[in-house]
Structure 1
Amino acid sequence: MLGAEVSAADRQAALDGVAGFARSVVSWWDDHDLLLTPTQAEPPLPNGTLGSDPSDPLAPLRRSQQFAPFTPFVNFTGQPAITLPLHVGADGLPIGVQLVAAPGREDLLLRVATQLEIAAPWQDRRPNL
């Protein structure tokens, strides 16, 4: 219903804006190999936090933007990324980091991820539930 309220011109302007943003982000890679960010801005949310609410259907989206602000720009700019559980919180839940590379540089992400897993293995970690 909300989409029906957007004109074709406004939709195209939004798509053009995303494409322009993607071009500017991709040009950043001319001087950088990897970008390191947190995966999330806060600890894992309790189950049901992002559940649907018919009275406010955009509430889960707004909440997820607060919870995970570091990953959407990577998705809509088409850059490869990987999340690695490199730390564990006091509650035993994993705390991840996101590594981002230039388009087409999945090889670099996988090499670095392999090195990090060797240095700090996470295969046998289990959360304290």
Structure 2
Amino acid sequence: MAALDDAVALCSSLGHDLVETELPGLTAEVGAAIGTVFVTASAWIVEYWSRRLDRAPSDGDLEPLTRAYWERGRRVSAAAYLLAIEDCQRFARVVARWLNGIDLWLTPTLSMPPAMIGEMTSTADDPLRALRAGGATVAYAGVVANLTGNPAMSVPLWWNDTGLPIGVHFLGRYGDEATLLRLAGQLESARPWAHRRPPLAS
């Protein structure tokens, strides 16, 4: 939230008008559709490579979470998949109408700083551990961009006390990459970040 507040202040100082608003249409039905599409896409990827390699994946080929997604995705019916796609498309149209009156939507990139290595690792005994640990972290605007196809960018304008870049996320109108690129150039001129590097553990 500190990164978001900082970005709001910076954009305001550069002459942008900012209004507080909420994303419409992200219902529980859409959330369920996201899950359905994700597991079926995972199943498709595994099945594609199984066909290409002419063999099923062995025990060591897939991470536990991927294997769990594959197994779930194989059980989704064609009808359920198509209904989920329809729900996602309906949501994309809601977002498109909403963005007609807004140039860009600004949010945090993630809900918390990046997790430590190993925090989002699944095990064979607990294959959904990574999903539980990381799901809330990434349930932000990037998911909306993935669903709708809208252009988006994460910009490292703010750094926390431990030296990690904390991004803010801008979602643009469909097909309007130009506005994002112009804003990125303006923000980088106002607060350059190319020279900054996070500290690396040895």
Taking structure 2 as the reference length, the TM-score comes to 0.60
2:167 aligned counterpart, secondary structure: strand
1:122 aligns to what?
193
User: How many angstroms apart in 2 are the aligned matches of 1:56 and 1:22?
Assistant: 34
Whether 1:112 and 2:194 are equivalent positions in the alignment is no
Larger radius of gyration: 2
Which stretch shifts more, 52-61 or 40-49?
A: 52-61
Q: Which amino acid aligns with 1:30?
A: N
Identity of aligned residues (%): 43
Query: Larger helix proportion, structure 1 or 2?
Result: 2
- Give 1:98's aligned amino acid: H
1:80 alignment partner in structure 2? 151
Match of 1:13 in 2: 83
Output the aligned Cα RMSD. Answer: 1.3
Please list every run of 5 or more consecutive structure 1 residues that lacks an aligned counterpart in the other structure: none
CA distance in structure 2 between the aligned counterparts of 1:75 and 1:99, rounded to whole angstroms: 13
Give the counterpart of 1:28 among 95, 98, 103.
Answer: 98
Q: Is residue 52 of structure 1 aligned with residue 125 of structure 2?
A: no
What is the Cα deviation at residue 62 of structure 1? 3.4
TM superposition score normalised by structure 1 = 0.92
SS in 1 for 2:106: strand
Unaligned runs of 5+ in 2: 1-70
More strand by share: 1
Larger deviation, residues 20-29 vs 111-120? 20-29
1:2 counterpart SS class = helix
Q: Does residue 134 of structure 2 align to residue 64 of structure 1?
A: yes
Q: How far does the alpha carbon of each residue in 1:35-85 deviate from its partner, in whole angstroms, 9 at most, with x for none?
A: 001001001100122223222333323332211111111111100001110
